[in-house]
Chain A
Amino acid sequence: MLFFSYFKELVGKEVTVELKNDLAIKGILHSVDQYLNIKLENTRVVDQDKYPHMLSVRNCFIRGSVVRYVQLPPDGVDIDILHDATRREARGG
């Protein structure tokens, strides 16, 4: 559940989600769930010319299983908190 909690902290920040089909979408993280499905708002496709069908998509739901990377804002992660949480998770608590 660590990454679920982690992504919940990022809600409201701008992220770029790169999918396994190479489509990369930038948008405001609206919500995330246990499968790491992601909902984005105010989306913009990084390579718009290559994906004309995405022109009028403003909000979208991305299935967690097709995500390759989530690019985060540089200030989006507090490494110390993440380390602590990781150790806690590793101990099973």
Chain B
Amino acid sequence: MSWPGQEDVFFSTSLASYLDKKLLVLLRDGRKLLGILRSFDQFANVVLEGAHERVIVGELYCDIVLGLYVIRGENVVLIGELDPEREELPASMTPGWAIQRGDLKDCFFPFFFQAQKAEKEASDLKGTMRKRMEFLDLD
């Protein structure tokens, strides 16, 4: 097996052109992980250095520091290159602050998760109401 040349990788679907760049990885469960791509394979298994999860609830957001992560490819939905020239989030969004896992009790984090849970429950409820009313042919 031969390795593709430096110029080939930019024309292929390989993730090689994203190596050492800051990426956004969307997972199947809706989580958003950010980090620097250090390795990958043909299944889209990826290694992220300095990974953090970005939690967004309404206009609030927060980053949870995770560290070095290996993500199994089957959970990956999308890998996006973050353009350093552009803002990562709309200016209207309010930042939280990076918080180390296991040190959550004296920050606004419990509140944050509560808000996230409430938002999810609301959207689930909307989903089930819609499903129950489907026979009405709402569209």
Contact = CB atoms under 8 A, between A and B. Distances in A.
Interface of A: 19, 21, 23, 25, 31-33, 37-39, 43, 52-63, 65-66
A61 B15 contact: yes
Contact of B79 (A21, A52, A61, A65): A61
B93 interface: yes
Interface size range of chain B in the complex: 20 to 34
**Most B Cβ at <10 Å: residue of A38, A61, A62:** A61
A84 B65 CA distance: 54
A32 B13 contact: yes
B24 A57 contact: yes
Interface of B: 11-15, 18, 24, 26, 28, 30, 32, 44, 54, 56, 73-74, 76-83, 86-90, 93
Q: Is the interface of B mostly helix, strand, loop or mixed?
A: mixed
Contacts of A55: 86-90
Contact of B77 (A39, A52, A53, A66): A66
A19 B74 CA distance: 14
A39 B30 CA distance: 20
Nearest to A17: B78
B13 A37 contact: yes
State the 6 A-B residue pairs at the shortest beta-carbon distance, nearest first.
Answer: A57-B80, A33-B13, A56-B86, A60-B80, A61-B79, A31-B13
A53 B80 CA distance: 10
A53 B12 CA distance: 26
Given A21-B26, A55-B88, 12 more contacts: A43-B80, A53-B24, A53-B54, A53-B56, A54-B24, A58-B83, A59-B80, A60-B80, A60-B81, A61-B15, A61-B80, A62-B78
Contact of A65 (B15, B30, B74): B74
Nearest to A54: B80
